[in-house]
Homo-oligomer: A and B are copies of this chain.
Amino acid sequence: MTDPCLPGLQAAEWLNTDRPPGPDDLRGKVVAVEAFQMLCPGCVSHGLPQAQRIAQTFRREDVAVIGLHAVFEHHAAMTPVSLAAFLHEYRIGFPVAVDQPGPAALPLTMRNWGLEGTPTLLLFDRQGRMRARHLGQVADMAVGAEIMALVMEPPA
Query: Does A104 touch B at the CB level, under 8 Å?
Result: no
B-chain residues with CB within 8 Å of residue A53 when the two chains form the complex: 139, 141
CB contact under 8 A between A74 and B57, given known A82-B82, A142-B144, A148-B152: no
B-chain residues with CB within 8 Å of residue A84 when the two chains form the complex: 77
Residue on B with the closest CB to A83?
B77
A134 to chain B, nearest CB (A): 14
Interface band, chain A: 35 or more
Partner of A57, one of B54, B139, B151: B139
B-chain residues with CB within 8 Å of residue A50 when the two chains form the complex: 141
Whole-angstrom CA separation of A143 from B57 in the bound complex: 10
Partner of A78, one of B82, B140, B146: B82
Query: Does A12 touch B at the CB level, under 8 Å?
Result: no
A49 to chain B, nearest CB (A): 10
Whole-angstrom CA separation of A46 from B125 in the bound complex: 32
Query: Does A81 touch B at the CB level, under 8 Å?
Result: yes
